Structure 1
């Protein structure tokens, strides 16, 4: 997967299992997947899980729910106000459009996608 953060150069992440973009800490029934996200910061927290196997999710499920997974060797986090994501095309084979994208359980289609933070767009009552 190729990811561009805040209009910087593209970075390649060859074995992405999951890419989570959030401006709040929790999703998926209480999973604290983006633990340092703050809805008032004006930035997304981007968490990349790389080369996770099915058993990694089982072994690390407690860490994913507690938000303590960021210290794992195959987990990285980035703060950003804009993110562009596209498929990593290897060996000149065009596979664009094969990676499914969803937001809060809703279908957004397939990559490529661009996400842009619009600070102050929604008012919160606390």
Structure 2
């Protein structure tokens, strides 16, 4: 282990905020006495390879500077290792950073949190989900929300949660419930109709939509939110409540917790950390304490 910090940077995150954020972050870390090396890949595959090489070489920490997409690549490098992860959330959604209570779009402040955590050895363990051979920190989306992701990814503007909101409105025109096959842990297969099924390691996706509002990052479980079949009018009533997390009490919404979730439905793509995984069926599993996070001590477990 060395005193070198590796900044893992997405230069295009948040319309260039990733590249701009790397400079004040690096300055804060150098002022704290760390040597800083910056890694920028030519594409996602190259970036992931470079991050893994830095971890294998014994970097003191991998610091992801970007949004949830870059975070997904960073998790692939550090999950299950002793190398801690720092998060400088400067992307469009930043849902993992929000769930952790970390500074968002404040790179110098986030870097100061990381430097202090390294000095005081206050990294702590958090859970991750795993699906289709990939680690994820936020939410696995399927159903109406994954269709919204499909549409949102085709839209260039606007940015952040507003693009997601517009994609939702557009998808309402083709709205329909989907037949699912759902299995939790070793329980029976349930055949249900649902508007969506979301499997959360943490609380939110889509730039602050708290779809799995009760999810915790150190309980060793995934939170499953099922929005049952409903009308467009009902969905429009439920939708604004997702940002506050109060939708979980609505009669069409059911919540579960499990360590393993099997999902199957025709014609749906799964997304985790906002990144496409491919078509269902998919199986998501919870992995307790899979990540060492650089953050101040905080209480996250359920009482």
| TM-score, with structure 1 as normaliser | 0.85
Which residues in structure 2 correspond to 1:19-58 (within 5 Å)? 19-58=197-236
The aligned counterpart of 1:71 is 249
Whether 2:184 is the aligned partner of 1:5: answer yes
Report runs of 4+ in structure 1 exceeding 2 Å deviation: 52-58
Report the alpha carbon displacement of residue 53 of structure 1 after superposing the two structures with TM. Answer: 3.4
SS at match of 2:261: strand
Checking the alignment, whether the CA contact within 8 Å between 2:264 and 2:280 is kept in structure 1 is yes
Q: Distance in 1 between matches of 2:290 and 2:237?
A: 39
Q: Distance in 2 between matches of 1:106 and 1:45?
A: 19
Compare the two structures and name the one with the higher strand fraction. 1
Contiguous gaps of at least 5 residues in structure 2 = 1-179, 296-303
Whether 2:280 is the aligned partner of 1:111: answer yes
SS at match of 1:8: coil
Q: Distance in 1 between matches of 2:237 and 2:291?
A: 37
Report the alpha carbon displacement of residue 125 of structure 1 after superposing the two structures with TM. Answer: 2.0
Q: Distance in 2 between matches of 1:74 and 1:8?
A: 22
Q: Which has the higher contact order (CA 8 A, sep 6+)?
A: 1
Give the number of the structure whose alpha-carbon radius of gyration is greater.
2
Deviates more, 1:51-60 or 1:101-110: 51-60
The change in CA–CA distance for 1:54 and 1:104 in structure 2 (over 3 A counts) is: farther
Report the alpha carbon displacement of residue 121 of structure 1 after superposing the two structures with TM. Answer: 1.1
Whether 2:59 is the aligned partner of 1:59: answer no
Q: Distance in 1 between matches of 2:231 and 2:275?
A: 24
Which residues in structure 2 correspond to 1:65-104 (within 5 Å)? 65-87=243-265, 96=266, 98-104=267-273
The aligned counterpart of 2:118 is none
Checking the alignment, whether the CA contact within 8 Å between 2:205 and 2:274 is kept in structure 1 is no
